[in-house]
Homo-oligomer: A and B are copies of this chain.
Amino acid sequence: MSLDIPDIYLKRVIIIGGGFAGIELAKHLKDSFQVVMIDRNNYHTFQPLLYQVATAGIEPDSIVFPLRKVFAGYEHFHFRMAEAEELFPEKNILKTNIGEIKYDHLIIASGSDTSYFGMEELRKKSMPMKSVREALDLRSCILENFEMAVTVHDEKEREALMTYVICGGGPTGVELAGALAELKRHVLPKDYPELDLKKMKIHLIDSGDRLLAAMGEHSSSKAKMYLEKMGVNVWLNARVTGYDGTIVKTMNGTEVNTKTLIWAAGVMGNFIKGIPGTAKVGGARIKVDEFNRIEGTENLYAVGDVAFLVNDAYPKGHPQVAQVAIQQGINLGNNLGSGNQLTRWKKFSYHDKGSMATIGRNKAVVETKYLKTQGVFAWLIWMFIHLLFLVGFRNRIVVFFNWLISYFNYDRGMRLIIRPFKRKE
């Protein structure tokens, strides 16, 4: 079976993944190639706001955007909702779950997924948050916990339902912990007058000696201070070693009784079968040269989270963040678009625009080249930047409006269990 895509006078580029990198690539390649994009979803996900979906702050539909709509009007563009299954580099063929397709160039922009570092029990029992579906499962899970907490007769079980452990002190973990603390303070007491919300506990665990390790020490300590003021228990230099669905065990022997362990401690590349094994490095990432070409191949590339690019500035590889993906997409798009004369190609060079994380209302930390700030001003910058990078006018307005309302009424409207979450056995 083959994917019915017409052979035309243009060479064909297949892009696997419609994330930040994939979108930039398609935009830059549309005039010089026939572009085929493969994604398992029919939409682009704005991952930085997933934590707000999980904590009932915004509706999922506002942080995703239909991929076909992004590329509406492109002449030689073809989208296929499909799963990339295997690559046959010697034949220039990609096998997907709906058929095979030939390519001239193939770019892997498949992003990353949660890594449990091989700990099978954790994979089965904890909750990841890397997709809209997972964020919605987490939202259902949190709300169901409270519905159950109202009805259970056993005090210990109630405590477990009201205790949240987040593993991983990067931006996702910090933002989730902050959002949960705000739910605890402003929203849940109104919804559950029958519960003593003081008993709700939020633990944030990280194996390093500070939160937000990618940022400066001042931001890290500020974030920790904010979180602790909001009632979050921050555990540094701690490592989760096991979780059976009830007890979280840590390396130093501490145990926490909880029904919900949220795993935000690691990612791994969405590696694709058939890529030369020599190109696979730690974390299931793909080793590329400074032009994002997969080592040892002629017409295969990897960009974004799944790519592992080492240069003088980043001897340990680039961070797995949206900005790297966007810039690699643009750079590779320009290079491929300029033709086969490799002498004209530009090496990838990352312009770090800074990083940021929000902790709660009026509380964020922002670091850019020219500016390091915390508090209200940082929080405004955070919101502005996130609205700016959200795809779609409607989405921006709706998200902005949700934030505005939440700011004034201290509420989060999306407390809905649309699809009940079923715990994994």
Which residues of A come within 8 Å of B, CB atoms? Answer: 1, 3-4, 41-43, 59-62, 64, 66, 68-69, 72-73, 78, 80-81, 98-99, 132-133, 136, 143, 147, 150-151, 153, 190-192, 194, 392-395, 397-398, 401-402, 405, 411, 413-419
Contacts and interface: CB of A to CB of B under 8 A. Distances in A.
A136 B78 CA distance: 26
Contacts of A392: 413
Q: Is the interface of A mostly helix, strand, loop or mixed?
A: mixed
11 contacts: A61-B414, A61-B418, A68-B192, A68-B415, A69-B190, A69-B413, A72-B191, A99-B151, A132-B418, A136-B418, A397-B401
A212 to B, nearest CB: 30
Nearest to A414: B61
A191 B151 contact: no
Contact of A80 (B1, B42, B151): B151
Contacts of A150: 80
A143 B42 contact: yes
Given A61-B418, A69-B415, 10 more contacts: A59-B62, A60-B416, A61-B413, A64-B418, A66-B415, A69-B413, A132-B418, A394-B401, A394-B413, A397-B401
A78 B413 contact: no
A4 B66 contact: no
Closest 8 CB pairs of A and B: A59-B61, A68-B191, A66-B415, A81-B147, A72-B190, A59-B59, A43-B416, A61-B414
Contact of A61 (B68, B69, B416): B416
A66 B191 contact: yes
A43 B147 CA distance: 12
A416 B99 contact: no
A64 B133 contact: no
A99 to B, nearest CB: 7
A66 B419 contact: no
Nearest to A189: B72
Nearest to A64: B416
Contacts of A191: 66, 68-69, 72
A325 to B, nearest CB: 21
A69 B3 CA distance: 49
Given A62-B59, A416-B42, A151 B69 contact: no
Contacts of A1: 153
A35 B149 CA distance: 20
A207 B376 CA distance: 63
A4 B293 CA distance: 63
A41 B417 contact: yes
Contact of A98 (B62, B73, B151): B151
A52 to B, nearest CB: 12
B42 A417 contact: yes
Contact of A81 (B81, B401, B417): B417
A268 to B, nearest CB: 24
A164 B3 CA distance: 25
Contacts of A68: 190-192, 415
Contacts of A3: 151
